[in-house]
Amino acid sequence: MARITASVYTSHVPAIGAALDLGKAGEPYWQQVFRGYDFSKQWLKAHKPDVVFLVYNDHATAFSLEMIPTFAIGCAAQFPVADEGWGPRPVPMVIGHPELAAHIAQSVIQDDFDLTIVNKMDVDHGLTVPMSLMCGQPAVPHFAWPFPVIPFAVNVVQYPVPSGRRCFMLGQAIRRAIESYDEPLKVQIWGTGGMSHQLQGPRAGLINREFDNNFLDQLIADPARLAQMPHIDYVREAGSEGIELVMWLIARGAMADVAGGAKPKVVHRFYHVPASNTAVGHLILENV
């Protein structure tokens, strides 16, 4: 059977992608951000997954305001990198895992969660920046990401957004789905977006270090309690775009302890301000 070996949590700031692509990663400002991922890149090489189930949000790139799925699972064989206005990032196309994605869709929908099945989709910085942070920049001649990815898009852009409670329950259903897949795959689940940030209005630039660090503490120690926090508290405390953090609860809900297993091992934790307008948070939890 397939199993979830670890979960990874990281912010997705688009300026991080631009810094990497434009050769600015060595500048002192960006060095402070990237040093938090030195360990992670080594860890990922040593714990290479067969597939990553990557929870992220689309920023009106693949889905416009004309059609807004709350939860969308990418079942395609490949996902082109989106042009977000400056041309597509110079990173490889994302290779999917249609068999596992279809199995997860079947299992999770029969487990009472409505998913939108997506068979054609471009992926934006919400997905490619976490990939770059964790994998580094793939270079020619092997211009490919090191593993297939199932993109799972969550609407945290246009209200109403899903609650943290629902996201946490969905993570549990995704775990049941993966663990009933009849092939011994090592699967990681990544929760991306966050941490505190607000890009618009009078509070633009908002950062809340205390909230963010509390969120990291609770995500590790008591995610069931954290999942009860209403969406309005995210907006008040972490800013309008801080709501992206509900996606971390999908990944956390898929960990073994939530289903009665052992507590995960915290192998890495990092927090840094600033990166563009956002507080960068990053965690790696291993199932033991």
Annotated catalytic sites, by residue? 125, 197
Asked whether position 242 contacts ligand DHB by CB under 6 A, the answer is no
Nearer to ligand DHB, 56 or 181 (CB): 56
How far apart are the C-alpha atoms of 75 and 151, rounded to whole Å?
8
Asked whether position 276 contacts ligand DHB by CB under 6 A, the answer is yes
Interface with ligand DHB by CB under 6 A: which range of 142-150, 181-189, 216-224, 273-281? Answer: 273-281
Asked whether position 278 contacts ligand DHB by CB under 6 A, the answer is yes
Of the residues 198, 277, 279, 286, which one makes contact with ligand DHB according to CB under 6 A: 277
56-89 b/e with 16+ CB inside 10 Å = b?
Answer: bbbbebbbeeeebbbbbbbbbeebebbebeeeeb
How far apart are the C-alpha atoms of 175 and 7, rounded to whole Å?
11
Nearer to ligand DHB, 30 or 113 (CB): 30
How many C-beta neighbours within 10 Å does residue 277 have?
18
Count CA within 13 A, CB hemisphere, residue 133. 34
Nearer to ligand DHB, 68 or 199 (CB): 199
SS3 194: coil
What's the token pair of residue 28?
């002192």
Interface with ligand DHB by CB under 6 A: which range of 8-16, 108-116, 226-234, 251-259? Answer: 8-16
Asked whether position 13 contacts ligand DHB by CB under 6 A, the answer is yes
CB of 249 closer than 8 Å to CB of 7: no
Beta bridge partners of 154: 71
How far apart are the C-alpha atoms of 66 and 64, rounded to whole Å?
5
Asked whether position 17 contacts ligand DHB by CB under 6 A, the answer is no
- Contact track, ligand DHB, 193-212, x by CB under 6 A: ----x-x-------------
Asked whether position 20 contacts ligand DHB by CB under 6 A, the answer is no
**Least distance CB 141 / ligand DHB (angstroms):** 32
> Per CB under 6 A, which of residues 43..62 are in contact with ligand DHB?
59
Q: Which residue has the tokens 């033991």?
A: 288
Nearer to ligand DHB, 155 or 278 (CB): 278
Nearer to ligand DHB, 194 or 223 (CB): 194
Asked whether position 15 contacts ligand DHB by CB under 6 A, the answer is yes
Which one, of 132, 169, 131, 133, lies nearest residue 246 by Cα? 169
Q: Which residues make up the interface to ligand DHB (CB under 6 A)?
A: 12-15, 59, 197, 199, 241, 276-278
